[in-house]
Structure 1
Amino acid sequence: MTPLLKTISFVFYPILHLLNIPTEASLGIVFAMIRKDGMLLFNQGSGQFLHQLSSFQLFTLVFLASTFSSCMVTITAIIRQMGCWKTALSIVVKQMITSILCICLFAVLICIGL
């Protein structure tokens, strides 16, 4: 499945590029969508990747990875509880949009110096 997940991770390249975050972080975001502890991929090589990030980049990356989507376990629980894919998908899409809007707001605030 790794080649498939790597392909999916390309979706995050434009966002990461806009935020000046290395695109190697995209796979960690995808794994965080499956399980929140997937963010541990950012810590590969004894944290070598994390050490090259500024505080803002690190905060933004962790925020994006943790809020972009619920983990698949949570989504599955929502589907089982509500019995409806449409409701679960609606919740996930709203969460994704909110996360992206928050990231854009962070970027604008940083650019204007607040």
Structure 2
Amino acid sequence: MKKTINLLVSINRILMVLISLFFVTIVLCYIAVLAEILLGGFHIITVLILFTFWNHLNKIEKKRIGIYSLMTVAYFIFWGIIGFLDNLNEIYEVLFWMVLIPMSLAFYLTFILEKIKDRLK
């Protein structure tokens, strides 16, 4: 479990730094949105891996992973509803739904992974 968590944390750090740098440079914002899809896929796989270690996690870690999972599912449901209704007219709404929420979820999962890694030291 410890090696797997360390690997996930390392990959996550690299992806988070790259995507954050892409967003900082406005020119690469389109690339950042595409890279965010890669990050989202990695995070879904990460959570599935964490579920396989469920019995080795403490109560707080389980609660955090549960909250993250519920927030991610809610995000996809709302994204589906908004996409179905085609209500994204303002650039601020697009930034909110395509940048701020996914990156907030990504930072929350990063926090969870770092806490698990610290506990396993």
TM-score by length of 2: 0.39
Structure holding more helix per residue = 2
Q: RCO greater where, 1 or 2, for CA within 8 Å and sep 6 or more?
A: 2
TM-score by length of 1: 0.40
